[in-house]
Chains A and B, each alone.
Chain A
């Protein structure tokens, strides 16, 4: 630790010395110049001149000119003027006067340091979109990272309304959503497990991301299948004209991306890869049993863009992720004797898009998408071999049209069909082992949808986005449906018959309309009010009662017993831009109610259970909140501060109370209910070469179940829990720091490198993830689990070759 601090101390010292080298003799010379407005070329009167980091009381005259006498040598000059980005330069004064022409950029007219935008530009606050946030990769990269990994998931948690159960959690909770209620798309193919290393890093190779659109509300009708939010990640379109190479070397993984035009202006390919090298690190740094552990992950993404003419463009993209772990028996399956367990899981996503432009008014996109997510849990033990596999096979066809009949309407409509095949668990199929074979039947289903969206400008003040989606779901055979004794809790004991369905036969069907509405009323050009309502249906749910789901968790499509989720969402917002879009303020409030979410009986057995419906309690979730955000979007110092008040509560009564109730059927806080959240992000761009950023996060501690006493069995004290989630862990707060040095050589070359130094959890707070109890003698002691309990330093090298 000490040596790293020393290294950075000397680095800073060297930098400072570099600016303070003076020649001690020789004739003084002039540094003179003229300061003008970069856009109008008009002289700027009264701009302040600083020399060698000191105020010297010099200002520009009426013609924008200045002159100062300096000794020979190198000098640092700074010119600043209110409302303009300052100018900084090192100037060598050797033998003659130096004449500078200094052009300052007006902050209001400069490009935004767009990191995040809920109403990206003035024009955007005038669109009806509400609860839509756009993050650019450029913006994401400005946020301090954890272990040098640019991470989409970690970045968007700095936004109001976005959180997770805790550090290292596998999934996000957005405005009170459960992790499976968020649709995560990468180039229109869904991601079912969005993280590597059980939740430490998100799966997306950041270099290939163009931007991320997060629909916290105001979800357009073209999206469906989840009851809460949509995170739409778009990959970069490869350049049709220029070869580019970029990449990075970090402490956890290495990345590379190439954009290669194959036929100029017609055909191009983009390929990116991220590969962790933890195996090497485990061998080198881990001790004892840990050195036998393995933890590797990789991402590979490719996109081919073909534009044969102005009217057609075709793109084919794929995304492949893999994770492999080898750990001791900690994660072994229940009731299996295994010394070591291995995990392998990943996505294989493919999509093809054909965009056709009929006219300036009409265009279409036809897309085919496929995602296969597979998990494998295995142990190569020769006697007790286990091989447990599960998979989700998703296929989708989507035809959509954009139609702009006139200035008042922008219409988007389309049709889509999705097929799911879920293999919930195959244990030891064809494997010789003392561990038995369990084959759970596959689940087949179809989801069809038709939708129409119209962005309708009624007047300059009033605009609507009116959408309607109709979705119809079919659970089809082959399959089995259990029948239970009427009037009693379904259990294995009350199972009386199993009904078989042939291939293609409808086993269950659900459907309905999903209205979407967003309305914007402009008070003036800088101020708008918005209102939104969504209904969304979800036919596909995660079956997990863990605090955060394991990557191998089971998914389930709706059937006779498990009803689809229906979510209703209301939101309203007030948006205000100030000082020519330098500042933006927003206030948003929302309410979400979701029916038919899944909760589970206490002590539920979810592993390879053929009668999973006996473990499920149909429950409800409701969430509401208020989000305040202020942003400074331009200038040397930019960033935002946000405060969120949010609640997410659940109620589980079930069909057979009190056996199926939780907390006596009262509303109780979900695991991710954190009422108060504050996020502060500050980015300081000191010229082109250095930038510093700070990120501060605070939130109320998450709920946990606090025992009200203990009982003793076998001389062990065991907690007595009388209610779920009746207390909270200590509040969470953390400060991160990042220092980026761009192009350290300061020379214009094809190869441009940059260094990023980050400290995550700068003051090393031991933020509790959970609180649990262990017996010690005849007493019961509380303990806290902290995920990153100390500062994490990292240094990453990134490069760009153009």
Chain B
């Protein structure tokens, strides 16, 4: 019977393209290519960070690295010609943030200027910050996915949806992004027998260490991990102009703990150039792996170009958008049927604690190092 089930499993899954027969590729040979300037921007009217991020693309798949580009001159011009300088963000390599107070205005248009140390000058089209409708509601539904493996944290979880009213005029494009903040207990994990060097603030692994032991260190003060969406979510109102859009799925929240799940959902009104760029990634990359894939392509930027070397191609898009956001805190005791327990990932290794009566000055907590994915600043409306 198990065999028959397996056979039908294959038919069903193959028939419905559930990526059930996906394996890591074997004997994959690297192909070396060119590196391109990659531009990622988030210019908006919201309270969050505006930034321009520059990197150079990796020139091979397995061994390459996308390197951040520093020391570039970056500024924005608005349609009145006013200049807004951006400066290098010390916490995130390659990221440039406004040098002074800057917040985009709905209805205003912006153009980005970039000059790299090699002398290449890049300029974008003017893109307007479009008005964005408010998110009407964000809500979650608990659902079990029995087809997933028992150890998969997404097997049990909450699907999160939003509703919103599309604006009356046609030609609106949306993007959703979310940020999940998780309060950390462990700030540092030293692997391979390493221990934390409190003087240099880094893990120190003994030379020729054969140990595979991991030592974990609690956080000194509050620290939050920031997890952002990996999948792109874009939408055009071409088929729903002026209608209320109901039940747009944004993400699935795993049942991997009992703490409240903090989620900040952003709704962005993006420009057609950004929509086309992101939609092409969704279609040719995100949805890849079925029998019906479309040709894999890389769409180079259509709204940023190199002015002094027009033949140089640019990756990314100058994304300028109107922003509204909503915070939802999912109580992970809600809607859960009896006998369903969270699937937790056990902590690997031990937690270092100063022995009672141990040496004076013994430290067992490490600092929360600010980065793109970590902050010691309490998120808005945080609930413990």
Point out residues on A near B: beta carbons under 8 Å. Answer: 1, 3-4, 147, 166, 168-169, 197-200, 251-252, 278, 281-282, 285-290, 293, 295, 325, 327, 329-330, 333-337, 339, 383-384, 427, 434-436, 438, 545-550, 602-603, 704-722, 724, 726-727, 730, 766, 768-775, 778-790, 792-794
Given A287-B146, A337-B246, A603-B283, A781-B293 contact (CB < 8 Å): no
**Which has the most chain B C-beta neighbours within 10 Å: A168, A330, A602?**
A602
Which of B65, B232, B279, B289 lies in contact with A785, CB distance below 8 A?
Answer: B289
Q: A335-B239, A337-B248, A722-B33 are in contact. List 5 more A-B contacts (CB 8 A).
A: A383-B247, A603-B276, A706-B31, A708-B32, A794-B7
Say yes or no: is B10 at the interface (Cβ < 8 Å to chain A): yes
Contact B57 A720 (CB under 8 A): yes
Known: A337-B246, A603-B279. A711 touches B3 (CB 8 A): no
Q: Determine if A336 and B239 form an interchain contact, defined as CB atoms under 8 angstroms apart.
A: yes
Q: Are B147 and A290 in contact (CB under 8 A)?
A: yes
Q: Which of A286, A778, A782 contacts B25 (CB 8 A)?
A: A782
Residues of B within 8 Å of A334, CB to CB, are 236, 279
Q: Complex: how many Å from CA A339 to CA B161?
A: 12
B235 in the interface (beta carbon within 8 A): yes
Nearest Cβ in chain B — how far from A315, in angstroms?
35
Name the residue on B nearest A286 (C-beta): B12
**A730, B55: Cβ atoms closer than 8 Å:** no
Q: Which of B16-24, B102-110, B346-354, B376-384 faces chain A? A: B16-24
**For residue B57, which residue of chain A has the nearest CB?**
A711
Which of B9, B16, B236, B238 contacts A327 (CB under 8 A)?
Answer: B16
Q: Would you call B293 and A546 a contact (CB within 8 A)?
A: yes
Contact of B5 among A4, A285, A288, A709 (CB under 8 A): A285
Query: Can you report 16 A-B residue pairs in the complex whose CB atoms are below 8 A from each other?
Result: A3-B3, A282-B12, A285-B9, A290-B13, A293-B12, A295-B16, A333-B239, A335-B238, A709-B57, A711-B66, A715-B372, A716-B230, A726-B31, A727-B31, A788-B10, A789-B10
Residue B296 at the chain A interface, CB threshold 8 Å:
yes
What chain B residues lie within 8 Å of A787 (beta carbons)? Answer: 14, 21, 291
- Check: B137 CB closer than 8 A to any chain A CB: no
The CA of A287 and the CA of B18, in the complex, are separated in Å by 13
Interface residue? B142 (CB, 8 A):
no
B39-95 CB contacts (< 8 Å) to partner A:
40, 55, 57-62, 64-66
Closest-CB distance, B16 to chain A (whole angstroms): 5
Kindly identify, within residues 224 to 252 of chain B, every residue whose CB is under 8 Å from any CB belonging to chain A: 228-230, 232, 235-241, 243-249
- Contact among A288, A330, A715, A772 for B145, CB-based, below 8 A: A288
Closest CB in chain A relative to B373 CB, distance in Å: 8
Residues from chain A with Cβ under 8 Å of B296 in the complex: 704-705, 707, 719, 721, 724, 772
Contact check: which of A295, A718, A766, A771 meets B15 at CB < 8 Å? A295
Count the A-B residue pairs with Cβ separation under 8 angstroms: how many? 274
Nearest CB of chain A from residue B64's CB, rounded to whole Å: 5
Give CA–CA (A727, B61) in the complex, Å. 14
In the assembled complex, B340 has its CB within 8 A of some CB on chain A: no
**Judging by beta carbons under 8 Å apart, are B3 and A550 in contact?**
no
Shortest C-beta distance, B176 to chain A (Å), equals: 12
Does the CB pair A785–B19 fall under 8 Å? yes
A772 touches B279 (CB 8 A): no
Instruction: Check A772 against B40 for contact (C-beta < 8 Å).
Output: no
Which residues from chain B contact A197 at a C-beta distance below 8 Å?
Answer: 15
Inter-subunit contact A4/B22 (CB<8 Å): no
CA distance A449 to B293 in the complex (A): 37
CB of B38 within 8 A of chain A?
yes
Query: Is A286 in contact with B8, judged by CB distance below 8 angstroms?
Result: yes
Q: Which residues does chain B contribute within 8 Å of A293, judged by CB atoms?
A: 12, 16
Q: Among the interface residues A293, A327, A711, which one has the most CB atoms of the partner chain B within 10 A?
A: A711
* A784–B11 touching, CB < 8 Å: no
Query: Are B23 and A766 touching (Cβ within 8 A)?
Result: yes
CB contacts (< 8 Å) of B58 on chain A: these are: 709-711, 717, 720
A721 cross-chain contacts in B, Cβ below 8 A: 296-298
Question: Does B194 belong to the interface (CB within 8 Å)?
Answer: no
Known: A705-B295, A724-B295. A710 touches B66 (CB 8 A): yes
In the complex, the answer to whether B297 meets A724 with C-beta atoms within 8 Å is yes
Q: Name the residue of chain B whose CB is nearest to the CB of A717.
A: B66
B147 surroundings in chain A (CB, below 8 A): 287-290
Contact with A713, one of B8, B38, B249 (Cβ below 8 angstroms): B38
Q: Are A711 and B55 in contact (CB under 8 A)?
A: yes
Which residues of the other chain, B, contact A337 by a CB distance below 8 angstroms?
Answer: 245-249
- CB-CB nearest in chain A for B25: A782
Query: Bound complex: CA of A546 vs CA of B284, how far in Å?
Result: 10
Distance, CA A717 to CA B58, complexed state (A): 10
User: In the complex, are the beta carbons of B291 and A772 less than 8 A apart?
Assistant: no
Contact with A along B328-370 (1 / 0, CB 8 A): 0000000000000000000000000000000000000000000
Across the A-B interface, give the 7 residue pairs with the lowest CB-CB distance, nearest first.
Answer: A708-B33, A288-B146, A782-B25, A711-B57, A603-B280, A288-B147, A772-B288
A346 to B31, CA, bound (A): 44
B122, chain A: closest CB distance, angstroms: 15
**Of all chain B residues, which has the CB nearest A599?**
B295
B254 beta carbon closer than 8 Å to chain A: no
With a CB–CB cut-off of 8 A, which chain B residues contact A720?
A: 33, 36, 57-58, 298, 315
Does B34 sit within 8 A of A, measured CB to CB?
A: yes
Query: Is B35 part of the contact surface with A, judged by Cβ < 8 Å?
Result: yes
CB closest chain-B residue, reference A713: B40
Q: Once the chains bind, are A785 and B281 in contact (CB under 8 Å)?
A: no
Contact present for B288 and A773 (CB under 8 Å): yes
- In the complex the two chains form, is B16's CB within 8 Å of A709's CB? no
Contacts of A713 on B, CB cut-off 8 Å?
Answer: 38, 40, 281, 316
Residues of B within 8 A of A384 (CB): 246-247
Whether, in the assembled complex, B200 has its beta carbon less than 8 Å from a beta carbon of chain A, the answer is no
Query: Which residues of chain A come closer than 8 Å to B372, judged between CB atoms?
Result: 715
Within the complex, the shortest CB–CB distance from A330 to chain B, in Å, comes to: 7
